[in-house]
Amino acid sequence: MTQPQTHDFLPVPDFLPEGAFARHASLDWDRAAYSDVSEEGRRRKIIRMISRAPNAPVRVRHNFQIGSIDSSSGNGPTLHAHDYPEIFIPVRSGYFVDYGHEGRHRARLDTYDAFSLPLNVLRKFEATEHAPRESQMLSVFDTTLEDARKGIKVTPQIAAADAAAGLPLDFEVSEDLVDSSPEEVEAAHIARFADLRAEPVGGLLLRRLVATGDPRAALRTPHTLEIDFLEVAPGQQSSTQPGSDCREVFVALEGRPVVLWNERPVEMERLDVFSIGRADSRAIRADGEARALLLRIRDTTNKT
């Protein structure tokens, strides 16, 4: 999973705590993520930057998992459900997400839109881009399971169809699944990036995506974590935050963000992941002529 690809990427600073940073461009996709990831019609490349796997790129223990998915139109997973919250955020081009009973409803997500899927609702996704170009998205599993696959379910009908096609059964078979209407989903579980309110806070723009109990957050699905988009204008730097009440994870999305970690600069490339402890100071600078855009995930149940 961590074999380097052909790419000129920046070295990880040697002053960082071991296992706190992952250079996404150096990671290879996980061919064993699920048994069908190389099957025709289901091809997708998954890199899990944070998980409970012993070879996870970020080895700091977290109470959620995050990974990237690359796929092209005509490919996607079987229809399935999770017994924990899952969030989809496209970061290159878009995706269709089919959900509900027999996947009868469809939503389109464009870049940086977010879909927090309700528990035990069937879902599957398909990229809007055709091969060889691929769409790409982030998937966040809000779970403490050691193996997140144990929280995934399929119906008996889906299991039978996969078995008939000669595909191995990875997931629990269950009829304890629920439906969700497009009206409920659009009102509570999908956030359009273009509609998010950008709040000036400490020299950056903050867009609140997930924060249970906070009416300023766009998504209403209950979560044990908090997620924001952070934007810094070109050539600017946010104010220094001396620490946090929990561990925070930063994911670079755009530009040339530099995180000042305890006043030491850490350059981030696209989809790099940096886990910062609660006692560490942090600020964000946008080098170059473009904005720096990052995703911040606050691991609110992780106080280490």
> Residue 72, SS3?
coil
Geometric angle at alpha carbon 50, from 76 and 155, rounded to 5°:
40
Domain 194-299: give its CATH code.
2.60.120.10
pLDDT tens digits, one per residue of 196-240:
999 999 999 999 999 999 999 999 999 999 999 999 999 999 999
Contact by Cβ (8 Å): 137, 68? yes
**CA pair distance 217, 106, nearest whole angstrom:** 24
Sequence ranges of the chain with CATH classification 2.60.120.10? 21-193, 194-299
Tokens of 22: 């992952």
pTM of the model: 0.95
Beta strands at 190-191 and 264-267: parallel, antiparallel or unpaired: unpaired
- The residues pairing with 152 across neighbouring beta strands, listed in sequence order, are 82
- 154-163, 166-175, 257-266: range with lowest mean pLDDT: 166-175
Please report the pLDDT score of residue 7 as a whole number. Answer: 60
Q: Tell me, which fold does domain 21-193 have in CATH?
A: Jelly Rolls (2.60.120)
Contact by Cβ (8 Å): 300, 45? no
- The residues pairing with 153 across neighbouring beta strands, listed in sequence order, are 81, 172
